[in-house]
Structure 1
Amino acid sequence: MSNAAQRIEEIRGALGSDLVILGHHYQHDSVIQHCDLTGDSLELARKVANLSARYIVFCGVFFMGEAAALLVEPEQKVFMPDRTASCTMSEMAPGPLVGNVMDWLKSSGKTIVPLTYVNSSAAVKGIVGANGGATCTSANAEIMLQWCMGRGDAVFFLPDKNLALNTANTLALPDSLRMVLDIRRGGSNIQPDVVREKQLLIWPGCCSIHAARFKVRQIEEARVKHPDCTVIVHPECTPEVVQASDVSGSTSTIIRYCEDAPAGATIYIGTEINLVERLVQRYAGEKNIVPLAHSACQNMAKNTEDKLADLLDDIAKSHEKGTPTKAEPVTVDPGTAANARSSLERMLEACA
């Protein structure tokens, strides 16, 4: 056991129920081994909402820490091993620009219901909540898109273009009723007359881990090597990759699929490599799990075992002495928090 691992386990034992460590599936095994709870974005949001621990440490990227801070009680504190662990997709939809685009869309005269992927800032979630919208994850995008479509004339889906298009394909929404928005010039390029003809208005963002690194040719090569294989990919991949695969789903869906697959099955997986390698190890000798390509999230990788140990040292000393932590808890501006929380709570209620 490393020195960092030993420190972590000692502090976990000392703090007991005052501490809970959460980890997203894309974290490295050296971090995941210390997590009390693991899951995808939807699973972790559900778990956070029911936690009573005084200190909640979230091993993931910053929008996840923000979402946790929105769902906990005032006396609870949310920390992250590395607050600089960001998300390129989230950064593609800055709050001020989203607000401008929302105003332009509303000028069409239609009732526009916004739906933001959880991979967005609290500021964006606040804009969505203030306009009667909700949050979604890759696990519940179909449910939440239908929820929003039942509450207005059109849905403004952001920031992931691929998740929007793949979900629309699953729901058989015609291409003629969709539009990827031109968000240049603060949204002023958007034509209100065109908006009136559409039911799904899509922000042009994407995930650099899934959109750029998984290709149809990789699936074709996998089928040549293993004609009986199954290919499962994350819905942040392009529609072309999703359509070429056998199954598309969230990280939880991928995990369940591998669990349910028969012994001897060959499964190619298109998602972040830490999860894939964990599944390779879990089913070694029983099932043949293969990464479609090596795609690692550098932001997720910022949370390391050493940083987790240092953070827990700080929390433990603060707890013992009754003094503030050196580490800054994740907080959300009160003016944003209520509406941002509403967007998350609508999702949790709709998917209860």
Structure 2
Amino acid sequence: MTSPLTLIPRPDDARPLDPSVDHGIQAIVTGASTAETCTTDLAAGPWDFDVRPGYGPGSSMGDVIPTGAPRQGELPAPYRVATEADLHDRIRRAKEALGDRVVVLGHFYQREEVVVHADYVGDSFQLAGAAQAHPEAETIVFCGVHFMAETADLLSRPEQAVVLPNLAAGCSMADMASIDDVEDCWEQLAEVYGDLDTPDADGLLPVIPVTYMNSSAAIKGFVGRHGGIVCTSSNARTVLEWAFARGRRVLFFPDQHLGRNTAKAMGVPLDRMPMWNPRRPWGGTDEQTLADAQVVLWHGFCSVHRRFTVGQIDKARSEHPDVRVIVHPECPMEVVDAADESGSTDYIRKAIAAATTPTTFAIGTEINLVQRLAAEYPQHRIFCLDPVVCPCSTMYRIHPGYLAWVLEELVAGRTPNRITVSADVSAPARVALDRMLAARP
């Protein structure tokens, strides 16, 4: 269980450090802070944006949301007007009433006011494991985004319900690889490589599909049907090694940067990693390039991690000559190359926890996690490479008001916002996920 939100004094100036990104944004909007945010709309409640299509204000607001993306109904008024303290109280009381019948999972990128109520906090892979580890719970409340709740449904018991507090909490990266586009790509690759499901004389398939955890259940099902596997940012290299042992090449989606950074570190030349853009004929490439490819990268990306730049790293080094720069592998290649280290959110947390002497860290990942780490480890100076406060717009759609609402609905015997994966998708998707779980670094 996480502890309630606390204000931890910094040793260098004795001022309290508040891990709440929302508090910081509210201070910017009221003029109490001179910091900068990417949009002052972040200060509003997410319910103001649920009635219209889009990812909401923040890092992903420039991305185009697919037609038919889940929409959230209107949150009842009492939850919209309640104070932070009132919502905290209602959530606490509802959790006490539900006891072991519910487990609340919170992603690292969630706002602090939600994370303080989570029974387990982690990345999507760790939280999927936490869902699997609690067969006694009747309901899993997943404070994350849609693909994460789908994965929890795939890995939990059939009778368990998985609830997403706000159905509008999607993922723009996951949406960049739709099942229709991936199947079209697969058909076109068959024109170049031949029968994709038949191994050659060496027992290798022409191409192995690999999808990042940040993808829909439908994509995971596609991968499972075609001999492929799911990867995480923690085991991407191990998964690529698994795939190369079984195929001539890899189709990697939806995040081009994780695929490129991982394959490059394994020695795959950049000219053998063409990009497949589903909006262009033949993916924007040609048959000969595809024939020579070792990794075909999908034209997808994380809007949060695309904000980080080499210029930000240069500035951090100029202002803090002893700085240790760690970035997430979803960042562009030039940013990963310029950093001291790159790794998953869990890698970043462990690196900071393992530092035995006071250290200055510049971190290239989502701001909610960075500020939480800065508050948790006050002996270090920890700051986000991007000085503009701009959280993941879709994670930010999970507000304490929604968490209070779904928990009180569960207390009343109702199950709102249940996420279910159809049987035709779930069976092959579980195959791909089981392969992922076995691919330990």
TM-score, normalising length: structure 2: 0.75
User: Which ranges of structure 2 fall in alignment gaps of 5 or more residues?
Assistant: 1-83, 195-204
Give the whole-Å Cα distance in 1 for the aligned partners of 2:288 and 2:440.
34
Q: Look up the SS of the partner of 2:361 in the other structure.
A: strand
Contact 1:66 1:332 in 2 (8 A): yes
Give 1 or 2 for the bigger CA radius of gyration: 2
**In the TM superposition, what are the counterparts of 1:5-154 in structure 2 within 5 Å?**
5-52=88-135, 53-107=137-191, 108-109=193-194, 111-154=206-249
Contact 1:46 1:348 in 2 (8 A): no
Contact 2:166 2:417 in 1 (8 A): no
Q: Look up the SS of the partner of 1:85 in the other structure.
A: coil
Of 367, 384, 390, the match for 1:273: 367
Corresponding residue of 1:247: 341
Percent of pairs identical after alignment? 42
Deviation at 1:184, TM superposition (A): 2.8
Deviation at 1:28, TM superposition (A): 0.9
Corresponding residue of 2:257: 162
Give the whole-Å Cα distance in 2 for the aligned partners of 1:11 and 1:182.
47
Counterpart code for 1:93: A
Counterpart code for 1:348: L
Corresponding residue of 1:292: 385
Of 306, 309, 331, the match for 1:237: 331
218-227 or 107-116: bigger deviation: 107-116
Corresponding residue of 2:271: 176
Contact 1:101 1:186 in 2 (8 A): no
Deviation at 1:199, TM superposition (A): 1.3
Shift in alpha-carbon separation, 1:350–1:328, aligned structure 2, 3 A: same
Corresponding residue of 2:311: 217
Q: Look up the SS of the partner of 1:56 in the other structure.
A: strand
Counterpart code for 1:18: R
Shift in alpha-carbon separation, 1:246–1:344, aligned structure 2, 3 A: same
CA-to-aligned-CA distance 1:243-273 (integer Å, 9 cap, x gap):
0000101110010111111332100001100
Counterpart code for 2:429: A
Contact 1:271 1:295 in 2 (8 A): no
CA-to-aligned-CA distance 1:45-103 (integer Å, 9 cap, x gap):
22222221110000001110111111111110000110110111111111101111012
Give the whole-Å Cα distance in 1 for the aligned partners of 2:383 and 2:284.
44
Check if 1:198 corresponds to 2:282: no
Counterpart code for 1:308: L
Deviation at 1:193, TM superposition (A): 3.7
CA-to-aligned-CA distance 1:120-150 (integer Å, 9 cap, x gap):
1111111111101111111111111111111
Alignment root-mean-square deviation, CA? 1.5
Check if 1:344 corresponds to 2:433: yes
Shift in alpha-carbon separation, 1:31–1:182, aligned structure 2, 3 A: closer
Corresponding residue of 2:13: none
Q: Look up the SS of the partner of 2:412 in the other structure.
A: helix
Give the whole-Å Cα distance in 2 for the aligned partners of 1:224 and 1:189.
39
Q: Look up the SS of the partner of 2:437 in the other structure.
A: helix
Contact 1:97 1:186 in 2 (8 A): no
15-24 or 192-201: bigger deviation: 192-201
Corresponding residue of 1:321: none
TM-score, normalising length: structure 1: 0.94
Give the whole-Å Cα distance in 2 for the aligned partners of 1:47 and 1:25.
14
Shift in alpha-carbon separation, 1:223–1:77, aligned structure 2, 3 A: same
Q: Look up the SS of the partner of 1:2 in the other structure.
A: helix
Contact 2:228 2:243 in 1 (8 A): yes
Corresponding residue of 2:37: none
Contact 2:170 2:394 in 1 (8 A): yes
Counterpart code for 2:110: Q
Deviation at 1:188, TM superposition (A): 6.7
Give the whole-Å Cα distance in 1 for the aligned partners of 2:313 and 2:226.
40
Contact 2:325 2:363 in 1 (8 A): yes
Q: Look up the SS of the partner of 2:251 in the other structure.
A: strand
Give the whole-Å Cα distance in 2 for the aligned partners of 1:273 and 1:328.
27
